Amino acid sequence: MLEIQYLRDQKDRVLTGLRKRGFTPERLEILDQIVALDDQRKEIQTRLDAQLNERNTLSDEIGKLFKQGQTTEANALKTKVQTIKETVESEEQQLQQVKSDLENLLLTLPNIPHVSVPDGRTPDDNKIHQAWEAPLPVLPEGAQPHWELAEKYNIIDFKLGAFITGSGFPLFRGKGARLQRALINFFLDRAREAGYEEIQPPLLVNADTAYGTGQLPDKEAQMYYVERDDLYLIPTAEVPVTNMYRGQIIPEASLPVMLTGYTPCFRREAGSYGADVKGLNRVHQFDKVEIVRFEHPANSYAALETMVRHVAGLMESLELPYRILHLCGGDMGFTSALTYDFEVYAAAQQKWLEVSSVSNFETFQANRMKVRYRDSQGKTQLVHTLNGSALALARIVAALLENNQGEKGIRIPEVLVPYTGFEWIGGDS
RNA sequence: GGUGAGGUGGGUGAGUGGCUGAAACCAACGGUUUGCUAAACCGUCGUACGUGGAAACAUGUACCGAGGGUUCGAAUCCCUCCCUCACCGCCA
């Protein structure tokens, strides 16, 4: 959620930012509505506070009068307060109304893109931030996409998953399951070595938490919801982990707070069909190691860069061809100010698959969650929040299977062997 | 799931209708003093929003788990919900 003060002070920036996100001039009128509502809010509050002050003062006097036995005078004041009470009630209602209107409008505004964010509407307008310079792997004739390899080596059973649950819920078995576990441990170890504290958060969250990171209200249809208990299955560890600090004031000296967590992620992916959803390309449940940071605003972009380097390092050690995209205004998530997407090249499909998204949310999430720190003047300031996948498993597995297939089977990258305990899938080991 | 007891500031904890935004103690921060450490003493010590102010700051309002209600007035009384603890039941 944007800060109203920012919106008032930096209107030009907000305007250009929203245009970058494809706001039409009509939709931009919302800014003036917000400011007008906020003015109204202030006005009502000033009035209301004055009335409340009078009520409190009079009530005080009534108490004193009663104590002195001056009941007649006290009762006279009582009727006076009674009339104040009525106007107070109506003004309180107005205030509440205006506040909720204001909040609802503010919730419709996405974050303001960073100045570097490219213009554009669709994924085609994303800029390549870091290209893959080496030649892309070319597989020999007869190379198979991962869903065929999965069946051939009996490591992922899509049909069985569909039988047990539904499509998009793959079942990993044998070396497939072990590869998953190896990747999770590898990613967690790397994150820990980089200074992130490991967290195992709850996988279901309440509505307040889902609002905090911005999943509600705008991504409600994307989450699985347990109606009976009013809980949501997490779409990413970002949600529970970032909310660890909801409503908190973090001592400035504790910044940055660096957290990592592995969780399964659940996404309904409503409305996705076709070739994109084949195999592991788009599934309802997948595993991911997430890194989350709460940063001093002055450091957040440097932090973003180190996160990007961290993820790039993972890709490199897995020997996977990857590229980094700088998302354009139209393709960026609602809450993000700047997002880099990592794509891995799946050589059999000859497709780039998104495997990580690293973002700086600046104060957008922090404002919603009221996560602050105290600056050297003793004032509370909103922190910047950042997060990134490091990494999302399903598509990494897809690329590993496809790119590393050969006559002997599927070769496991060297760094993973200590984790898997085997060097080949389908080979001798 | 059942029964009982509770939820007060960073912590412990007082407070059962007005003099309590909240005692006291601890922690923290600033200072004084002793050669350092320690101790003692003095002071500061919640958040949000509004108003005035360039700011420091002053001032108003709200907040004692959350939301409603009673009352001229609620941390205090009533209702609903949430959470914690104890015991019982169930259970990986």
How high does pLDDT run on average in chain A? 93
- Predicted local distance difference test score (pLDDT) of residue A296: 94
Buried b vs exposed e over A267-285: b needs ≥16 C-beta within 10 Å?
A: bbbeeeeeeeeebbbbbbb
- Is the per-residue pLDDT at A274 higher than 70? no
Which residues, in sequence order, are CB contacts of A185 under 8 Å at separation 6+?
A: A419
pLDDT digits (tens, 9 = 90+) for A334-375: 999 999 999 999 999 999 999 999 999 999 999 999 999 988
Specify the nucleotide whose C1' lies closest to residue A82 (CA).
Answer: B72
- Predicted local distance difference test score (pLDDT) of residue A20: 94
pLDDT digits (tens, 9 = 90+) for A179-201: 999 999 999 999 999 999 999 99
pLDDT digits (tens, 9 = 90+) for A382-423: 999 999 999 999 999 999 999 999 999 999 999 999 999 999
Buried b vs exposed e over A82-114: b needs ≥16 C-beta within 10 Å?
A: eeeeeebeebeebbeebbeebeeebbebbbbbb
Find the mean pLDDT for residues A302-330: 97
* Tokens coding A303: 């932090």
Residue of A411, A313, A362 lying closest to A214 (CA atoms): A362
Find the mean pLDDT for residues A110-121: 95
- Predicted local distance difference test score (pLDDT) of residue A197: 94
Q: Measured in angstroms, what separates residue A66's CA from nucleotide B16's C1'?
A: 20
Tell me the C-alpha to C-alpha distance, in Å, between residue A104 and each of A19, A101, A135, A337: 20, 5, 50, 21
- Is the per-residue pLDDT at A272 higher than 70? no
Assess: ipTM above 0.95: no
Q: Measured in angstroms, what separates residue A377's CA from nucleotide B40's C1'?
A: 30
Residue A230 pairs in a beta bridge with none
Answer yes or no: is A377 CB < 7 A from strand B: yes
Residues 74-103 in A having a C-beta less than 7 A from any atom of strand B are 78, 81-82, 85
Specify the nucleotide whose C1' lies closest to residue A46 (CA).
Answer: B50
Q: Measured in angstroms, what separates residue A39's CA from nucleotide B70's C1'?
A: 34
Residues 54-73 in A having a C-beta less than 7 A from any atom of strand B are 55-60, 62-63, 66
Answer yes or no: is A159 CB < 7 A from strand B: no
Residues 216-275 in A having a C-beta less than 7 A from any atom of strand B are 249
Rg, Å, chain A Cα set: 27
Answer yes or no: is A39 CB < 7 A from strand B: no
Nucleotides of strand B lying closer than 7 angstroms to a protein CB = 18, 47-51, 56, 60-62, 72-73
Specify the nucleotide whose C1' lies closest to residue A75 (CA).
Answer: B72
- Is the per-residue pLDDT at A319 higher than 90? yes
Report the percentage of chain A scoring pLDDT > 70.
98
Residue A152 burial by Cβ neighbours in a 10 Å radius (0-12, 13-18, 19+): middle
* Tokens coding A323: 């590229």
Give first-to-last CA distance, chain A, whole Å.
53
Find the mean pLDDT for residues A30-47: 95
Q: Measured in angstroms, what separates residue A236's CA from nucleotide B68's C1'?
A: 35
Contact assessment for residue A427 and residue A409, using Cβ atoms and an 8 Å cutoff? yes
- Predicted local distance difference test score (pLDDT) of residue A72: 86
- Is the per-residue pLDDT at A327 higher than 90? yes
- Predicted local distance difference test score (pLDDT) of residue A230: 85
- Is residue A129 classed as helix, strand or coil in its secondary structure? strand
Specify the nucleotide whose C1' lies closest to residue A65 (CA).
Answer: B18
- Classify residue A270 by its DSSP letter: T
- Predicted local distance difference test score (pLDDT) of residue A133: 95
Answer yes or no: is A206 CB < 7 A from strand B: no
pLDDT band at A208 (very low <50, low <70, confident <90, very high): confident
By 3-state DSSP, what share of chain A in percent is helix, strand and coil, each rounded to 5? 50, 20, 30
Q: Measured in angstroms, what separates residue A166's CA from nucleotide B44's C1'?
A: 62
Q: How far apart are CA A25 and CA A15, in angstroms?
A: 9
Report the percentage of chain A scoring pLDDT > 90.
80
